Amino acid sequence: MLRAKRDQDHGEVRLGDIVLRNRLVTSSSLLGYGVANSPLVPYGMSPVSLFVPLEEFGAVTTRTLTVEPREGHFSTRDDYALGELPGLLKRYGRVLRSTDGGWVNAFGWCNVGIDAYLRDYYPRTRDQRTIISLGGFSAAEFVTLIDRVNAAVPAGDIAAVELNVSCHNVNFDFSTILQDVLDEAVPRSHHPVILKLSPDYDYLRNAQQAAKAGVSALTAINTVKALRLDPRTGEPFLSNRYGGLSGRAIKPIGLRVVSELREAGVTLPIIATGGVRTADDCREYFWAGADAVSLGSAVWLASYPGYALAPLRALGVRRVLNAVRRWEPVPRRAVAAV
């Protein structure tokens, strides 16, 4: 059977020791820290999120947080005045570009740091179920992040922490530290741990390493390493040159990874992400072997004029949420027979 089980008494879904409100979560970064400081222009959050009840999702995943504040390739600020908006939009053009069927981004883990998040943002999102995304460049940094979360958040108050050891726009080879991170950080956590897998690394081996280390679940997948060049000059559009491709274009890759994980005998719960936009997309991922699905850039991002339709896009998100709530897991044998 799928490892996800529904708590009939509380309407919750359990993925091993991870408790979600339902099987639909949100992907890291698209909703910032789960709350905006500006009611008019929600910097760091998709405008679509203003018209969707975030507390009704299975969980909301934060932007990836590091030990210290990090500018990355963008900014830690979320308090821009309207007069600064033209310059801000120009900066966005260096870290986020649309492409056929998706988006390429290179924000580079810009974030306020774990302490500021726990002090200034987390208390205002207590009505949400939260997955805190953590990122670092050594096992020691991940241990520090886990310790900070342990100290500030009682066990059971969040769904999980997610270890982002697979980002492509911070120019680091995470395969060199993954085993140490699993060995040193995972046992220290008072909260369930999710490992985020990249399709560009050896995700089958990484999943097996995660299972041995006591990780509670997997996120499949992170963005796919990508490049866009200005056809007139040959210069990269993104300030980091390479970025991460997300959106509709990577859905077949995400489905392949989830299916191959199951075919390889991986039994950990899987939260699938990559091009999810409709209830049918969710259903495909469930058939492939996922236990939950995550909404990312395919839903939350649009062209700037397209955000005028945010209320209508939000209605589509609500329809997906209602459809996923009604989904009941089926035996793996039945999935294989379809």
Catalytically active residues are: 167
The secondary structure of 265-322 as a DSSP string is T--S-EEEESS--SHHHHHHHHHHT-SEEEE-HHHH---TGGGGGHHHHHHHHHHHHH
What is the spatial distance between Cα 134 and Cα 13, in angstroms, rounded to a whole number? 23
Instruction: Give the span between the Cα atoms of 153 and 308, in whole angstroms.
Output: 37
Dihedral of CA atoms 197, 199, 200, 202 in degrees, nearest 10, equals 70
Between CA 4 and CA 218 the distance in angstroms is 13
Q: What is d(CA 253, CA 213) in angstroms, rounded to the nearest whole number? A: 26
Please choose, from the candidates 250, 268, 110, the residue with its C-alpha nearest in 3D space to the C-alpha of residue 193: 268
39 within 8 A of 117, measured Cβ to Cβ: no
Give me the residues paired with residue 293 across strands: 24, 272
* Peptide bond preceding 221 in cis form (omega within 30 of 0): yes
First to last CA, the chain: 15
Separation between Cα atoms, residue 314 and residue 325, nearest integer Å: 17
**CA dist 297 to 42, 105, 155, 211, 330, Å?**
16, 10, 30, 28, 28
DSSP 8-class letter at 236: B
